[in-house]
Amino acid sequence: MTVNAARALAGARTCFVGIGLPSAAANLARRTVEPGLVLIYESGTLGSKPSRLPLSIGDGELADTADAVVSVPEIFNYWLQAGRIDVGFLGAAQVDRYANINTTVIDRGPGRPEGRLPGAGGAPEIAASCGKVLMVLRHSRRNLVERLDFVTTVGHGSGPGDRARLGLPGAGPVAVITDLGVLRPDPETAELVLTELHPGVSAEQVCEATAWKLRVAPDLGVTEPPTPVELAALRELSDRGASDA
């Protein structure tokens, strides 16, 4: 999952990075497929080059290794909302068939309090204004749901034309990369379709792990296994983060 997410950043110049799985993928991309990738975090760091995976957007490693540190309003007003960032990279607690995201609250059922999540952060603005958006999350019926408990971030809304109607300038989500495969929006319907499997995974397995009736592309592909170079770079990042923690 992380390796394929990193590969998806090949050719990108600038990436607005979310913490967690997106950060691991973006930092791996800078060490493998796109050494010149400029990593931008919403805390105000431009061109961060962390030697380990940051723990949060406030991790001092991001500022220490950045080309510049600016204010949060400048990051959003001048860089993000002005359309200066190629790719936004997001995680999610829940994603629906149109790649809308919930990171706010989970309905835990009758008689139980809501499960509170970290919240929106900069995700709504990232999904609105970046040239395109990549998403990465683990694949289960709890995460890929029929209906979001709360719409935190608009992906493709309720289908084609919604982003234009809402005045969202970016292209929105172009791929959802999971630990089972890759889903991409259909150009006609904007609904997520399974386009690639990871080695050893079946289409039936992916469909079973998805809460809606997932469509499968007729030319379903299989992703390339991680190379020794990619694995070594990822393990180095992970090992440094674990030793620092």
Q: Which residues contact 57 (CB under 8 A, 6 or more apart)?
A: 19, 41, 42, 43, 121
Residues 110-143: pLDDT tens digits? 999 889 998 998 999 999 999 999 999 999 999 9
What's the pLDDT at 19? 84
- For the chain, the average pLDDT equals 94
d(CA 194, CA 180): 10
Does residue 243 carry a pLDDT above 70? no
pLDDT in tens, 155-203: 999 999 999 999 999 999 999 999 999 999 999 999 999 999 999 999 9
Give residue for tokens 């395109």: 132
Q: Give the type of residue at 124.
A: P
Q: What's the CA gap between 242 and 240, in Å, rounded? A: 5
What pLDDT does 160 receive? 94
Count CB neighbours of 234 within 10 A. Answer: 21
pLDDT at 244 over 60: no
Cα separation, 109 vs 83, in Å, equals 40
Q: With 70 as the cut, is the pLDDT of residue 242 above it?
A: no
pLDDT in tens, 198-226: 999 999 999 999 999 999 999 999 999 99
Helices and strands, counts by H and E, the chain: 8, 14
Residue 238: the pLDDT is 85
Helix, coil or strand: residue 193: strand
One-letter amino acid identity for 121? G
pLDDT tens by residue, 68-106: 999 999 999 999 999 999 999 999 999 999 999 999 999
Candidate ranges 51-55, 182-186, 236-240; pick with highest mean pLDDT: 182-186
Report the pLDDT value the prediction gives residue 18, as an integer from 0 to 100: 87
Q: Token match 């790719």: residue? A: 87
What's the rounded Cα separation, in Å, for the pair 138 and 53?
A: 19
Catalytic residue among 42, 125, 191, 196: 42
Cα–Cα nearest to 154, from 123, 182, 131, 121: 123
d(CA 89, CA 132): 9
Give the tens place of pLDDT for each residue, 26-49.
Answer: 999 999 999 999 999 999 999 999
- Whether the CB-CB separation of 22 and 90 falls below 8 Å is answered with yes
For residues 210, 212, 216, 220, the Cα torsion angle rounded to the nearest 10 degrees is -20
Alpha carbon 94 to its chain centroid, in Å, reads: 12
Residue 40 phi, psi dihedral angles, 5° rounding: -125, 130
H/E run at residue 182: strand 181-185
Q: Give the CA angle between residues 44, 47, 52 to the nearest 5°.
A: 95
Q: How confident is the model at residue 241 (pLDDT cuts 50, 70, 90)?
A: low
The residues, ordered by sequence, that sit 6+ positions from 119 with a Cβ below 8 Å of its Cβ are 103, 104, 152
> Is 42 one of the catalytic residues?
yes
